[in-house]
Structure 1
Amino acid sequence: MKPAAKHRPLNALPRLLVGRHRSAGSDLALATVLAAIAGAANAGGFFALGQYTSHMTGHLSQLADNLALLNWIVVLTSLMAIGAFITGAAFSTALINWARSQHRRRQYALPLAIQGLLMICFSWGGIFSTAPGRLFALACLCFIMGMQNATITKISGARIRTTHATGMITDIGIELGRGAFGLASGRAELRWDRRKLAILLRLVLAFLLGGLVGALGYGQFGFFFSLPLAAALLGLSLPTLLARRRGGGT
């Protein structure tokens, strides 16, 4: 019989995922969860605001088009969305760097906890029926998306991004093209990286499934479907934060 000491407590998994000591497996597990949450939140942005809030390429294109048309309301909206995304990424990076120097055990848990709290704020977006209120909701969600992408980028050493589906799909195409050329030319060194391809497919699938769940959830429950997403983010982060206060932690 295995010793009882080897049994992990219920909060061990979240602390493993966001703890200071990293592994490729924990990075991928956390990235998969965050990609699913990002897909669901992105669907929430479209449901609530008619815009995909993680899609900065679309906002840049929209900005250029409407600058040409002199549609200043849309121009300002796009600038606000891009600015909120950048600000969220900058805030997450600054927070991680500060926590790294002050409280190393919670350097990754803090950004996720703040994202969870902001998702709770977004869940009340239904009360904002005015144009300024909708702009606030858009800025809030773009800020969260920027924070999340920066957080997993910092955690994984820039190996993984969870909201940048365009980049992930591009990398899938690169790997497939590289492998196809290697097979056709008989050059064994030009084989696709199966592990990298599996990771990319896993993250894209997680984002897609998250988007499907988010579309159904927001369609059925409205803004309040943000609450389960907030609970997931807080569930990942709070065990590490609370463990530190008790003198434990990862």
Structure 2
Amino acid sequence: MTAHLKIGPNEAQHVRVADALRLLVRAERSAAADAWLGTALCFIAGASNAGGFLAVGQYTSHMSGIVSAMADNLAIGGVWLVVAGFSAFAAFAMGAGSSAILIHWGRRHHARQQYTLPLLVEAALLLGFGVLGAMRADIPNFALFGVPYLCFVMGLQNAIITKISQSRIRTTHVTGMVTDLGIELGKLAYWNRSGPGLPPVQADLKKLALLATLLSAFFIGGVTGALGFKYVGFITTVPLAAALFVLAGVPVLEDVIARRAVRALRERR
């Protein structure tokens, strides 16, 4: 028996959107999917980092500054500041480690959805930060708790895209992106003279465009997050979490609905 399914224009559009989202998080990767997902995560990372600074008074995406601050504080005897810095450093590492655990668990149990679980966890954590921030008057020394919390989220996210893209893309490591951008610009500006059989120096224009896009997304996200936290407060985390839920949740939901439909069809037969 052959089943014919009629799809209207609205349903067809819904299917196309769901298929596009599934391409972004599926196990089989492409350079285009990595670029689109990396751009989205860079925007969210920039918003969380800049907005988080207004919330807890410290940037949480870059470990270079935190480790340097630990060294400075140790040299001048600020033991408690060293402890606070180490908690942020450890939280970032734990976030990255948790991401690796979730991805490898998903790879063994739900191979098609191995990257969705850490994205959903990040969404839940961002939403949780917003809820806790709204209650910060009842939480003593909220910044001491909020800094490692956001560092954990940043480590989780950076590890997600690092694992997905095979280390080609990082969303919170802006120093590395700027370094790679400078290298490609240097290669682009290099004047190739005729040499003894040496290949010409050529910039990777696709990589250059990707790096510029990622940096722009991080910056625009930072502006958006800073304005959001300044004018509307911790509710800014809601659209960020919602974006992650859409990225990871829609493909999962579609797969669940599809499996139920197939099961129901088999039962009717």
Q: Same fold (TM over 0.5)?
A: yes
- Is the 1:105–1:244 Cα contact (8 Å) retained in structure 2? no
Given the alignment of the two structures, is residue 119 of structure 1 paired with residue 130 of structure 2, yes or no? no
Amino acid at match of 1:176: L
Match of 1:70, SS state, is coil
Deviation at 1:55? 1.4
Range with greater deviation from structure 2 (72-81 or 57-66): 72-81
Given the alignment of the two structures, is residue 149 of structure 1 paired with residue 149 of structure 2, yes or no? no
Match of 1:246, SS state, is helix
Closer, same or farther: CA 185–73 of 1 in aligned 2, 3 Å: farther
Match of 1:93, SS state, is helix
- Is the 2:192–2:201 Cα contact (8 Å) retained in structure 1? no
- Share of identical aligned residues, percent? 46
Structure 1: gaps of 5 or more residues: none
Given the alignment of the two structures, is residue 194 of structure 1 paired with residue 205 of structure 2, yes or no? yes
Deviation at 1:243? 2.7
How do 1:54-133 and structure 2 match up within 5 A? 54-124=61-131, 125-129=133-137, 130-133=139-142
Q: Distance in 2 between matches of 1:132 and 1:84?
A: 17
From 170, 173, 178, the equivalent of 1:161 is 170
Deviation at 1:140? 1.6
Q: Distance in 2 between matches of 1:104 and 1:95?
A: 12
Deviation at 1:139? 1.6
Structure 2: gaps of 5 or more residues: 1-5, 260-269
Q: Which residue of the partner structure matches residue 222 of structure 1? A: 233
Given the alignment of the two structures, is residue 135 of structure 1 paired with residue 144 of structure 2, yes or no? yes
Alpha carbon RMSD of aligned pairs, Å? 1.9
Amino acid at match of 2:99: S
From 18, 33, 36, the equivalent of 1:29 is 36
- Is the 2:57–2:143 Cα contact (8 Å) retained in structure 1? no
Paired residues, number: 245
- Is the 2:192–2:200 Cα contact (8 Å) retained in structure 1? no
Given the alignment of the two structures, is residue 231 of structure 1 paired with residue 231 of structure 2, yes or no? no
Range with greater deviation from structure 2 (130-139 or 52-61): 130-139
Note the alpha carbon deviations across 1:104-158, whole angstroms, 9 max, x for none. 1211111100000000111022322455432222122111110110000111111
Closer, same or farther: CA 4–131 of 1 in aligned 2, 3 Å: same
Note the alpha carbon deviations across 1:214-240, whole angstroms, 9 max, x for none. 111111111111111000011111112
TM-score normalised by structure 2 residue count: 0.86
Q: Distance in 2 between matches of 1:190 and 1:105?
A: 40
